[in-house]
Chain A
Amino acid sequence: MNRTILRLIASRIAVGLLSLLAVSIVVFAITSVLPGDAAQEKLGQDATPEALAALRKEMGLDRSAPERYVQWLGGIVRGDPGISPVTGGSVGEMISSRLPASLLLAALTAAFSVPIALALGILCALWRGSKFDRVVSMTSVAVVSVPEFLVATLAVLVFAVHLKWLPALSYTSDTSSFVDLVRSLAMPVVSLGSVIVAQMLRMTRAALIDQLGAPYIEMVRLKGASPARAVLAHALPNAVGPIANAIALSLSYLLGGVIIIEVIFNYPGIAKLMVDAVTQRDMPLVQACAMIFCVAYLVLVTVADVSGIVANPRLRHQ
């Protein structure tokens, strides 16, 4: 670690924080400012001006938009995003009761997908152009280009309906025994994992193949090293940065995928909570969930960039 690297990392993290601030402004503007007067909408067109003014005061709408934004952001940062107008409950409690389930799903999916994707990606790069490579690459293109709910639907058809390995759409809340827990998590993890694996193996393969085109690999091959040695001992260490980058970026696809997967399997996580909140137009809940997703996304993107910086050998020897 030298100063150049530290400075680059620090500036990358600063950019991430600034983006987060900008994102919070966008989220607040879209949900609270641009749609117009929430009090008017709640009471309808023929509300009396007095009732309207009273409700505006109660909802805090009598203050200016920047004032409301600062107060809202303060609440989010302190971990107190307010009260849900739909259920009357605390948004913070609703989120904290759902967040562990989503984190479990994401962590399990990542734990399974990363090794599988890396292995497949490296094998594809190693046997580039072979039948194996063509089948895996074609499948991954198909998986990446269709919507996630389609992958989930097909996964249910294959694993639950035809092979009968796993239960189909039944998320059982009865997770007392270990077997039940595994059975209820299996299908969501498999579907979500398919999407992530496809994304990650494509990026891994591309990163490795990019290295394999470099002159030093030709040199290694001319010296008489086997293709496997050229890939594993020479190309792979140089592709660690791009691959770490690919892993972090692919994991950010978890966020989009998890929204669909939680709904299709009726999984009690935070993404399902957010979709329900959008349906009921429960703004404080939507805002808080959106900010959690944005934080997770920006963290992953920043980690991707930082790992790229750390692994870049040209920066290490300055």
Chain B
Amino acid sequence: MSAPALLVPSAPMVRRRKLLAEWNWSGKLGLAVLAILVLVALFAPWLQAHDLGEMSAAGVFQPMSTEHWLGTDYLGRDMLTRLIAGAPYTLGVAFAATVLACGFGALLGLLASVSGGWLDAALSRTLDTLVSIPSKLLALVIIAGFGSSTTLLVATAAVVYTPGCYRIIRSLGVNINAMDYVVVARARGEKRSYIMRREILPNIWGPLLADMGLRFVYALRLLASLSFLGLGVQPPMADWGSLVRENLGALPMGGVSVVAPALAIAVLTIAVNLVIDNLPSARIDGEKG
């Protein structure tokens, strides 16, 4: 992704009205699936046919049936209910972490690109250090130090993904910072915060949104993996990663209770990937090879 290509203005005012017309079919498919999953997460408490803790008379690891659409889990609870109840945690924690990581990363990136000098160097070196630790390992180390809680998970994923966003925003910002209109604004005596907010930020919204989508997928993967390791969302709460872990016993028989949450994660990550790969504003750089 070459930086100058991303700077092509996307004429937001004209296009906003026919927003969906800009999307190709795989992008629309991704959007539709994502929208359904977000609705499920938002309305999860009202969508459950069974009581969350209710243990079915049918027994544990039941296959699909009309009573239990996705079978039952390792304690005989309705799997579909568990899956729906897990949606807010799966999507919510990853979303919160993404917003934090990108907000923080973008802020620091803008600050570094506008300030330059020692501030830029200090920020870049510090965040580069975090990048030299593999993401899963950094998350494990943080959880070892502080124990696991939902708040900490959000913070952990935010820390892990801030440097990536910072790098992208900084490199875009440095290019824009050298443009004539920024030089003019500076000569007018505008403050640093004004240049960050009014001169640079409006020009990097497109790449910033695409990057948020990417970080969201990463955060989803990381959090699902942590839950799978038993270090993520803690019982009695359960996200989809914990559901896979809990029902691993059904795996040798190919039980639906372990396949369903695993597929749910796959569907979610692939939907988000389809959306970001086909973002109209980010498609300018053409084929990625």
Chains A and B belong together in one complex: yes
Are B259 and A27 closer than 8 Å at their CB atoms? no
Which of B125, B145, B231, B259 gathers the greatest number of chain A CB atoms within 10 Å? B145
| Chain A 140-156 residues near chain B, CB threshold 8 A | 141-142, 145-150, 153-154, 156
Contact B258 A153 (CB under 8 A): yes
Q: Which of B134, B146, B225 has the most CB of A within 10 A?
A: B134
Interchain CA distance A36-B259 in the complex, whole Å: 41
Q: Quote the shortest CB–CB distance from B259 to chain A (angstroms).
A: 7
Q: Report A-chain residues with C-beta under 8 Å of the C-beta of B132.
A: 19-20, 22-23, 294, 297-298, 301
Q: How many residues of B contact A (CB 8 A)?
A: 44
**Chain A residues with CB under 8 A of B137:** 255-256, 259, 290, 293-294, 297
Indicate whether B108 reaches chain A with its CB closer than 8 angstroms: no
B45-85 vs A, CB cutoff 8 Å, 1 = contact: the mask equals: 00000000000000000000000000000000000000000
How distant is B215 from chain A, measured CB to nearest CB, in Å? 13
Contacts of B221 in A (CB 8 A): 145-147
The contact string, 1 if C-beta is below 8 Å from chain A, for chain B 188-222, is 00000000000000000000000000000100110
In the complex, how many angstroms separate the beta carbon of A31 from the nearest chain B beta carbon? 5
Interface digits, A276-303 against B, CB 8 Å rule (1 contact, 0 not)?
A: 0111010100100010011001100100
* Residues 1 to 36 of chain A near chain B (Cβ within 8 Å): 19-20, 22-23, 25-27, 30-32, 34-35
Residue interface mask B119-131, A partner, CB < 8 A = 1 = 0000001001110
Q: Which residue of B lies closest to A207 (CB)?
A: B289
Chain B residue nearest in CB terms to A258: B136
B135 interface contact, C-beta 8 A = yes
Q: Give Cα distance in the complex from A167 to B137, angstroms.
A: 29
Docked-complex contact A297 and B289, CB < 8 angstroms: no
Q: Does A198 contact B (CB under 8 A)?
A: no
Say yes or no for A76: interface residue by CB 8 A criterion.
no
Indicate if the CB atoms of B229 and A263 lie closer than 8 Å. yes
Stretch from A111-119, A157-165, A227-235 forming part of the interface with B: A157-165
- Which of B147, B252, B258, B270 has its CB near the most chain A CB atoms (within 10 A)? B252
Using Cβ atoms and an 8 Å threshold, which residues of chain B touch A157?
Answer: 251, 254, 259
Q: Please report which residues of chain B, range 142-159, place their CB below 8 angstroms from some CB of chain A when the two chains form the complex.
A: 142-147
Q: Which of the residues A35, A209, A263, A275 comes within 8 Å of B145, measured between beta carbons?
A: A35
Pick from B135, B228, B231, B273: contact of A279, CB below 8 A: B231
Q: Which of A146, A154, A256, A264 touches B134 (beta carbons < 8 Å)?
A: A256
B20 at the interface (CB under 8 A from A): no
- A246 and B9 alpha carbons, distance in the complex (Å): 33
Chain B 211-253, CB-CB to A under 8 Å as 1, else 0, gives: 0000001001100110011110000000001001000100111
Choose among A23, A168, A205 the residue that contacts B251 (Cβ–Cβ < 8 A): A168
Q: Which residue, of A22, A146, A148, A168, has the highest number of chain B Cβ atoms within 10 A?
A: A146
Q: Is the CB of B270 within 8 A of A206?
A: no
Chain B nearest CB: distance from A19 CB in Å?
Answer: 4
> Is B140 on the interface with A (CB-CB < 8 A)?
yes
> Are B244's CB and A153's CB within 8 A?
yes
Q: A19-B128, A290-B137 are in contact. Are A260 and B145 (CB under 8 A)?
A: no
Chain B residues with CB under 8 Å of A168's CB are 251-252
A27-B141, A278-B143 given as contacts; is B269 within 8 A of A297 (CB)? no
A274 contacts the other chain (Cβ, under 8 Å)?
A: yes
Q: Is B107 an interface residue (CB 8 A)?
A: no
* Known A-B contacts A153-B258, A210-B289; A275 and B228 likewise in contact (beta carbons under 8 Å): no
Flag if B225 contacts A148 (CB, 8 Å).
yes
User: B144's contact among A25, A206, A286, by CB below 8 Å, is which?
Assistant: A286
7 interchain residue pairs of minimum CB distance: A161-B254, A22-B129, A168-B252, A286-B144, A278-B144, A19-B132, A147-B221
A–B pairs, 15, beta carbons within 8 Å: A26-B133, A30-B144, A146-B270, A149-B224, A149-B244, A153-B251, A156-B252, A161-B254, A168-B252, A206-B288, A256-B134, A256-B135, A256-B136, A278-B140, A279-B231
List residues of A whose CB falls within 8 A of some B CB.
19-20, 22-23, 25-27, 30-32, 34-35, 141-142, 145-150, 153-154, 156-157, 160-162, 168-169, 205-206, 209-210, 252, 255-256, 259-260, 263-264, 274-275, 277-279, 281, 283, 286, 290, 293-294, 297-298, 301
